[in-house]
Structure 1
Amino acid sequence: MAYPLPAESGAISTLAFADGYIAIPETVEYLDSGDDVEVTLFTHQYMPANLYIIGSHDLGLDVLIPMLPGFVRARVINVGSMGGLYAVKRGEADVAGLHLVDEETGQYNVPYMVKYSVNNAVLIRGGYLREQGLIVPRGGNPKNIRGGIEDLLRGDVRIVNRNKGAGTRFLLDLKLKEIAVKMGVKFEELVRKVNGYYYEVKTHTAVAAAVAQGKADAGVGIRAAAAMYGLDFIPLGWESYDFAIPIDRLEKDSVKAFLSMLRSSEFRDALSKLPGYKVPNDIGEVIWRGQ
């Protein structure tokens, strides 16, 4: 399997995370999922990872992965919660981080496992609650964004958004749909009033970086990312971040090591030190199982 590493044009840093490259002939417009290609690896000593974590970006994973035993070779691919859900369903991921809120019930993750018939997997309590909110510039919030999501409709406010399929994008869209109903307008019409709605990045830290660099006045993300860049934060609420794991991977040694560390007091203590994270008592427990 091959996953691209999306980045801005000329971003040489992606080479540090890539295993190799493919050459696409100039006569080919695009490659379809399932096409066979020849890959040129950057090293003859290439060794595939034995723990593929595909899904939503999370700073808690950045804490957990270095704590895993030495035999675990983890690779994290940030494609958003929906991308992780599909990666589990297709059997590509060993673990997928999800934080998808259901519009009708307000429940996280379980409704999507049922809706998309991910019956080959279990849903593990990721153990954390993360605080989501608006990330705004330091130094007194110069655009005076105080009213929450409604302020994103102002013409003088430019936002940075997450990619389609990201759980944070789902959260923002849910809030905007609530505003659209109150205003009596269509969601699509309301979105056109949000300056920067289509300016997309793939991680919480990329949202914070865009605000810190002055590329945007605000963006939805987790408190820990705002703290990392010394930015101000306007809370919107707490969310559940869980893990989907294919049932046939539960006996894989690297997955066992992942779950063992997830449930450990060592990780619990480290995670609780991140701003905007809470660790419930049932961390690592199965909360839903496919048929």
Structure 2
Amino acid sequence: MYVSVATEAGGLAPNEDWVAGTPTLAVVLDGLSTAGLDTGCRHGVPWYVAQLGGHLVAALAESDRQLTDGLADALDRVARLHPECDLKNPGTPSATVAILRERTGSFDHLVLADSPVILEGDSGVTVLTDLRVDDVCRDLRTETEQFQTGTPEHRASVARLVAAQRAIRNTEDGYWVAASTPEAALHALVGTTPADGVRSAAVMSDGVSRLVTEYRMATWEGVLDKLREEGPVSLIRSVREVEAMDPHGQRWPRYKAGDDAAIAFCRRV
């Protein structure tokens, strides 16, 4: 398959998204916000997603390897890179994971948390995502949405929300993300789709998918058409234009005015 990629920070802070593509693989990672709270790690989220992404691509170089096995191996290898850090800290750097891999006659996918994989076929569009995070901390999320983005009240509310999410992250009572232990890979959602049912696909962080899911300023069909005609950079530009219409998060409440964005667009060749 032909894979085109793009990523862009949502503001002045370093980009915490990561994307890569090969002729058979597309990977997107979305680093989770630390909200200024302690992580126990001196490296930071951008370092973590870069290391995890590189090791993940290497681990999946063998096309017959299970995606969950490759993710578990990558998580273990990254943890070994910084044993001096407190990897048991609930705020240890972490990320969502979305993977699409082409094999002879089929496409495999893996999603861990809310970075989706979008498949386009003759029967329409299929959205593959993991929204377990939406089932936790609903009251705190509602509280955060009451404040204008960027205000002291909003920042304090986001910090409370992130702290509460950390307490149940990677537990049976919460939701799962890639962090410091291979166990998270076992909780990813995986599947296989026959290749003849897929014309194109997009793997993206929620900084892109929110154009459809949160802002409702596009449809999945429209997103795929734009990717086909203009490419990933143009799609991210569309997200920024929408965000600029509501810089204080009053129409579309969110954690920050502009979110990091990453996308891999895949076309069969």
Q: TM-score under structure 1 normalisation?
A: 0.28
Q: Which has the higher helix share?
A: 2
